[in-house]
């Protein structure tokens, strides 16, 4: 009788242990899946913000072209419950609109717009990176608006940046862009807008 009780006790403990292991495994799988989904969304939003900043255009299903990037950010971000569309699972960069076709329907494809704004962003980045410490100090008087001097090479890039860099090296360009201050973002965007307005007349050199 005692042996039988001992066996039953051991069996119960083994079942309990198996249940605990199973629960832990399920929790780990769910955690890994949750973290993977959070990473995917976070990466999507980083790419979306970057593409917005650089003046990309977009192709959505079915063959809908958008130049207003903000609407694409709303589609990708689950935080915007009224506009988020879980149908779209990825954002891919290509060189031009001609390269944007042939992807699965649930992929948003983006490329540097041909309206002069991306070229203006490149020109503005060149202009801002070339500033000396004294010039930066004169532009940004407040201490909190200042940042260390850096070069394109500090981010694994080389002069001059090209439209191809915006696609092939987008993570490096995004890191560079993120290193600028809010004031510099404003300066560069203003420069890019001016460049885009005069793009047809080639009023500005994209590699000053």
Question: Does 146 score more than 80 pLDDT?
Answer: no
- Sheet of 56-60: strand order equals 64-66, 56-60, 107-112, 90-93
Q: Is the pLDDT of residue 134 over 60?
A: yes
Residues above pLDDT 90, as percent of the chain? 38
> Which residues are paired to 109 by β-bridges?
59, 92
3-state secondary structure labels for all residues of 155-208: HCCCCCCCHHHHHHCHHHHHHHHHHCCHHHHHHHHHHHHHHHHCCCCCCCCCCC
- Does the pLDDT at position 145 exceed 60? no
C-alpha to C-alpha distance for 62 and 168, rounded to whole angstroms:
26
Predicted confidence at residue 151, as pLDDT, reads: 92
CA 4/CA 8 separation, integer angstroms = 6
Under 8 Å between Cβ of 85 and 161: no
For 62-99, give the DSSP string: TTEEE--HHHHHHHH-TT-TTT--TT--EEEE-SSGGG
3 state DSSP class of 143: helix
100/74: higher pLDDT: 100
| pLDDT at res. 31 | 60
132: left (phi over 0), alpha (psi -120 to 50) or beta: beta
Under the banding of pLDDT at 50, 70 and 90, the label for residue 14 is confident
pLDDT in tens, 40-92: 778 888 998 899 899 999 999 888 888 866 678 888 888 877 788 888 889 99
Which pLDDT score is estimated for 203?
47
**Nearest alpha-carbon partner for 69 in 130, 103, 118, 7:** 118
CA 128 to the chain's CA centroid:
21
C-beta separation of 38 from 46 below 8 A: no
Domain residue ranges of the chain, discontinuous segments joined by +: 1-113, 117-197
């Amino acid at each position: 009788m005692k042996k039988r009780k001992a066996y039953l006790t051991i069996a119960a403990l083994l079942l309990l242990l198996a249940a605990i292991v199973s629960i832990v495994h399920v929790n780990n799988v769910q955690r890994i899946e949750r973290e993977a989904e959070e990473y995917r969304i976070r990466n999507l939003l980083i790419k979306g913000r970057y593409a917005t900043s650089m003046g990309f255009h977009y192709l959505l299903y079915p063959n809908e072209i958008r130049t207003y990037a903000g609407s694409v950010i709303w589609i990708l971000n689950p935080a915007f419950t009224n506009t988020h569309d879980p149908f779209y699972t990825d954002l891919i960069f290509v060189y031009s609109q001609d390269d944007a076709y042939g992807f699965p329907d649930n992929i948003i494809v983006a490329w540097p717009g041909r309206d002069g704004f991306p070229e203006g962003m490149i020109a503005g980045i060149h202009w801002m990176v070339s500033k000396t410490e004294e010039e930066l100090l004169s532009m940004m008087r407040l201490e909190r608006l200042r940042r260390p001097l850096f070069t394109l090479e500090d981010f694994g890039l080389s002069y001059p940046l090209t439209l191809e860099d915006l696609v092939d090296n987008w993570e490096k360009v995004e890191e560079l862009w993120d290193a600028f201050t809010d004031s510099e973002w404003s300066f560069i965007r203003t420069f890019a807008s001016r460049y885009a307005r005069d793009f047809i007349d080639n009023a500005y050199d994209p590699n000053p």
